[in-house]
Amino acid sequence: MKRIILAGTAAFLILVAVFAGGVLAAAPELVVLAPVETGIGSPFLVYISSTEPLEDVVISWEGKQLPLEVERSGDISEAMVLLGTDVGSSRSGPRTIEIGASAGGRSVAVSRTITVADVDFPVQRLSLPEEMVTPPKEVLERIKREREESSRALATMSSGRKWSVPMVRPVPGIITSPYGFRRILNDQPRSPHRGVDYRAAVGDPVRAAADGTVLLSTEHYYAGQCVYLDHGNGVVSVYMHLSERKVKEGDPVSAGDAVGLAGKSGRVTGPHLHFGISLQGMMVDPEPLLAE
Ligand SMILES: [Zn+2]
């Protein structure tokens, strides 16, 4: 079963590399597939392989070092990782991906340059009564605590890859608010939308995007009833505004399992699913990772 998933992933990767103008470049022992250009907020795959046994594969990206699990497929050693940038904090320009590994007992190092391009995200200006824009003072402490809890969960980097692409679409509904969308409320720019909102009715099942483990199952002021799943390799998915949670922290989940029911809990005006994907703490656009 795992072999089939991997074969599918490799085919997807090659397609991504071809369409993104990617390069197939080889150090003597290491083949690295990575795009040469990406837009801010877009996730991308990096695939590393060798015909020699690989060990201690570490990839550096945006100041973080991530050890990768090596998988065997026949005579090939391979490792893969999802990387990206965040509409909330990343800037355009050239970046370097560095890969270090031991191949057949010899250490090898490969680097790739990837250009991060600006994206014109949609903007909406709104005037609203001030009390709808600023949260009441008595909840500020709670919001701060919950933000810290969320950041800790999003920074999880457990070893072992449980995700595969394409991921399962958590609900079938259309997008009501895309990734990167920015509201300017009463002339004050709010932080950009770091996930995608999908149309969903109260009670619709919300499905896990990939295999994983429940990191957080809780209730937050803004997010309402929410679930965070760890898929390994720094990949975390988040599901917000649920009417009911079906999992508790530590539970294993399989791709497609219902982790909760859609709802309108938290600070929202109507029922929908806010879905997010974090890659090593950076919230990317989940859409390119999802099945049709
Ligand atoms: Zn949202």
* Both tokens assigned to 259: 């982790």
Q: Provide the 8-state DSSP code for 157.
A: -
Cα of 272 from ligand 1 centre, angstroms:
8
Evaluate if residue 25 carries a pLDDT over 70. Answer: no
Residue for token pair 């958590």 = 170
Ligand 1 geometric centre to CA of 263 (Å): 13
Span from the CA of 287 to the centroid of ligand 1 (angstroms): 13
pLDDT in tens, 194-227: 999 999 999 999 999 999 999 999 999 999 999 9
pLDDT of residue 24: 52
Look at residue 6 and tell me whether its pLDDT is greater than 70.
no
Residue 284 neighbours by CB under 8 Å, 6+ apart: 41, 42, 43, 84, 85, 86, 179, 277, 278
Ligand 1 centroid to residue 259 C-alpha, Å: 18
pLDDT tens for 90-145 read: 999 999 999 999 998 899 999 999 999 999 999 988 887 776 677 888 899 999 99
Q: 287: buried, middle or exposed (CB in 10 Å: 19+, 13-18, 0-12)?
A: middle
- 8 A C-beta contact, residue 237 and residue 198: no
The Cα 98–Cα 79 span in angstroms is: 14
Segment holding 5, helix H or strand E: helix 2-19
Which of helix, strand or coil describes residue 141?
A: helix
The pLDDT of 74-93, averaged and rounded, is 94
**Ligand 1: centre distance to CA 223 (Å):** 9
Q: How many CB atoms lie within 10 A of CB 120?
A: 7
Q: Which of 287, 196, 210, 234 is nearest to 83 (CA)?
A: 234
**What's the 104 CA to ligand 1 centre distance in angstroms?**
47
Mean pLDDT of 225-254: 97
What domains are there in the chain, each with its CATH number? Answer: 2-117 (2.60.40.10), 123-289 (2.70.70.10)
**Higher-confidence residue: 241 or 2?**
241
| Cβ atoms of 124 and 192 closer than 8 Å | no
Give the type of residue at 264. Answer: K
d(CA 234, CA 98): 17
Distances in Å between the alpha carbon of 207 and those of 80, 197, 213?
24, 14, 13
Ligand 1: distance of its center to the CA of 172 in Å? Answer: 16
Using a 10 angstrom Cβ sphere, with 0-12 exposed, 13-18 middle and 19 or more buried, the burial of residue 163 is buried
Q: How far apart are CA 249 and CA 32, in angstroms?
A: 36
How deeply is 161 buried, as exposed, middle or buried, from its count of CB atoms within 10 A (0-12, 13-18, 19+)? buried
Protein residues near ligand 1, an ion, with CB under 5 A? 197, 274
Query: Residue 55: is its pLDDT beyond 60?
Result: yes
Other Cβ atoms less than 10 A from the Cβ of 285: the count is 26
Give the mean model confidence (pLDDT) for residues 270-282: 96
DSSP-assigned beta bridge partners for residue 24: 33
Q: How far is the CA of 262 from the centre of ligand 1 (A)?
A: 13
Q: Which residue has the higher pLDDT, 185 or 50?
A: 50
Q: Report CA(98)–ligand 1 centroid distance (Å).
A: 33
Contact criterion met (CB below 8 Å) for 152 and 121 = no
Instruction: Give the Å distance between the CA of 66 and the centre of ligand 1.
Output: 28
pLDDT of residue 28: 57
Averaged confidence pLDDT in the chain: 89
